């Protein structure tokens, strides 16, 4: 299946329209397209790719309805929003601390599809951060550590 022909890809195209990031002026769709390329590189499932397409919609609205990928998009939203780069989470500096933080309130593990989506999201965001914000963003040190910690955690998590 060509993901760009999916209803999820078309939905995010409509959702984003011609929107661009304020600081970098990069079209929002760039995040989706580059994330899909990463998902392809790591051999993620079509379900993960389709859910990745709608993750910004799922993060904005809780009532997303895209059949089989809706649950995965909600799982992604839970984990992505559980650890954001904020002063309140700056104390989380190790893989173990991140794992304890992510799984503290739940009794299930992250699916491989969700982990793949987070890898695509964090790798793509890290690339844009390095190109457009490194050294200029007021929290660039914390953001650099944040992306590195997520990626080390996720790459180790995939080993289980």
CA distance 158 to 74: 20
CATH number of residue 131's parent domain? 1.10.3210
Residue environment code for 48-75, b if the CB has 16+ CB neighbours within 10 A, otherwise e:
bbbbbbbbbbbeeeeebebeebbbbbbb
Number of domains observed in the structure of the chain: 1
Q: Do the beta carbons of residue 44 and residue 116 sit within 8 Å?
A: yes
132, two tokens: 């457009």
Q: Check residue 110 and report its DSSP letter.
A: P
How many C-beta atoms surround the C-beta of residue 6 within 10 A?
Answer: 18
Instruction: List the pLDDT tens digit at each of the 160 positions of the chain.
Output: 799 999 999 999 999 999 998 888 999 999 999 999 999 999 999 999 999 999 998 877 655 566 678 889 889 999 999 999 999 999 999 999 999 999 998 888 899 999 999 999 999 999 999 998 888 888 889 999 999 999 999 988 865 4
Domain span at 19: 3-157
Q: Do the beta carbons of residue 120 and residue 39 sit within 8 Å?
A: yes
- pTM as predicted: 0.85
Q: Which of 132, 147, 21, 143 is nearest to 86 (CA)?
A: 143
């Amino acid at each position: 299946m060509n993901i760009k022909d999916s209803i999820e890809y078309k939905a995010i195209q409509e959702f984003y329209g011609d929107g661009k990031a304020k600081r970098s002026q990069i079209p929002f769709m760039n995040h989706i397209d580059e994330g899909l390329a990463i998902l392809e590189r790591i051999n993620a499932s079509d379900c993960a790719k389709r859910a990745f397409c709608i993750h910004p919609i799922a993060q904005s609205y809780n009532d997303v309805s895209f059949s089989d990928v809706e649950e995965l998009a909600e799982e992604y939203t839970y984990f992505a929003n559980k650890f954001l780069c904020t002063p309140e989470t700056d104390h989380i500096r190790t893989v173990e601390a991140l794992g304890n933080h992510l799984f503290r309130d739940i009794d299930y593990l992250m699916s491989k599809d969700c982990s793949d989506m987070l890898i695509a999201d964090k790798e793509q965001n890290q690339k844009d951060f390095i190109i457009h914000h490194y050294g200029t963003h007021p929290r660039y040190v914390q953001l650099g550590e944040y992306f590195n910690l997520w990626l080390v955690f996720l790459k180790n998590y995939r080993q289980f």
